[in-house]
Amino acid sequence: MAWLLWTAAPARADPLPGYHDYAAMTARIDAVAAAHPDIVSRFSIGRSYDGRELWAVKVSDNVAIDELEPEVLLVFGQHAREHITVEQGLYLLDQLTSGDPRVVDLVSRTEVWLVFNLNPDGSEYDWAGERPRFWRKNRQPPDGTDLNRNWGYHWGCCGIVSRRPRAEAYRGGRPFSAPETRALRAFINSRRIAGVQQIKAAIDFHSAAELVLWPFGYTRADSAKDMTAAQHRRLARLGRRLARANGYTAEQSSDLYVAAGELPDWLWGRYRILAYTFELGPRDDFYPARFEDEVARNREPVLLLLDAATRLP
Ligand code: NO5
Ligand code: CA
Ligand code: CA
Ligand code: ZN
């Protein structure tokens, strides 16, 4: 009889307790935006392959006005099963609207963009079975594209990246073949005003390895076309400071493994944005029962990055 009960099991498992699926995330963003209309404005950067809105917010004083303040971009959820990064985004939204005097000061001197889940189709699919599916890619046919291999800087050239659609690190049919990377690219391009990119620093949040990584990922070289040795030292110095604040290990992205088509490589290569990957802990666990302490570790490095963005030449 057991197998009969088994087949009668619900078609959709709930996310782990405390985690926000897409509907809960959307409701939470709406609630915070409604509670803080003076400093939070919510918008969509476009739609996922299956048509979900890709929700984002701007946090700043005089939020309705595009002021001449350094802009910082925070991206969550490129990889579907890395659900903890969506919780990281919601936690940071809470912190940035908390009214803490240090935060109020930083938020009034910067404009912070948060993109909460760049891959909602993938994360919904990951929860949609009886147990998590360990899904990484988006849901674009035939078998999903790895968004963090789809960015158009040295796309597909090197390292852990595949031209086979069934591979975990499938790069897509061409650079920016995924609607999700195209939507975020269009948003970032729109922040180029009178020829000057307004976004000065960025973090792309992943899990699960407790790392702070800086570009490039596509090459092991410390200096390359588009990166002088001095620029590399600057990226590394700030990266090490961020890692001291959260206790993660700091290294160049390619020290972990070489991989082409990552978002931070494109942010630096295209616009010279100080771009980092944060890999949240706990190590090797995509589904930790508790995430509260882990996301709190990244309050300080994010505030440090906002502060650093206000001190750039
Ligand atoms: C990332 C790297 C940017 C470190 C990736 O395990 S992860 O997939 N989150 N690592 O391979 O895109
Ligand atoms: Ca402002
Ligand atoms: Ca601005
Ligand atoms: Zn990842």
Catalytic entry in 69, 111, 279, 294:
279
pLDDT in tens, 40-56: 999 999 999 999 999 99
Give pTM, 2 decimals.
Answer: 0.96
Please tell me the distance between residue 75's alpha carbon and the centre of ligand 3 in angstroms.
Answer: 18
pLDDT in tens, 63-91: 999 999 999 999 999 999 999 999 999 99
State which of 76, 82, 83, 277 you would mutate to test the pocket of ligand 1, scoring each by most atoms of that ligand within 8 A of its C-beta. 277
Please answer whether residues 204 and 278 qualify as being in contact, where contact means their C-beta atoms are separated by less than 8 angstroms.
Answer: yes
Which residue type is seen at 280?
A: L
Per-domain residue ranges of the chain: 3-309
Distance in angstroms (rounded) separating the CA atoms of residues 124 and 17: 15
- State residue 12's pLDDT score: 58
Please tell me the distance between residue 34's alpha carbon and the centre of ligand 4 in angstroms.
Answer: 31
Decide: 117 in ligand 1 pocket, CB within 6 A.
no
State which of 75, 76, 78, 79 you would mutate to test the pocket of ligand 1, scoring each by most atoms of that ligand within 8 A of its C-beta. 79
Per cent of the chain over pLDDT 70 is: 96
- State residue 2's pLDDT score: 39
Number of residues that make up the chain: 313
Residue 279 catalytic? Answer: yes
Decide: 262 in ligand 1 pocket, CB within 6 A.
yes
Query: Roughly how many angstroms between the first and final C-alpha of the chain, as a whole number?
Result: 71
* Per-residue b or e along 156-171, where b marks 16 or more CB atoms closer than 10 Å to that residue's CB: bebbebeeebebbbbb
Task: Give backbone dihedrals phi and psi of 148, rounded to 5 degrees, phi first.
Answer: -85, 20
Which segments of 143-262 does DSSP mark as H helices, in order? 179-190, 229-246, 253-256
What is the side-by-side strand order in the sheet with 199-207?
Answer: 40-47, 53-59, 111-115, 71-76, 199-207, 274-280, 211-214, 249-252
Among protein residues, the one whose CA lies closest to atom 1 of ligand 1: 206
In this structure, CATH architecture of domain 3-309:
3-Layer(aba) Sandwich (3.40)
Q: Does 6 score more than 60 pLDDT? A: no
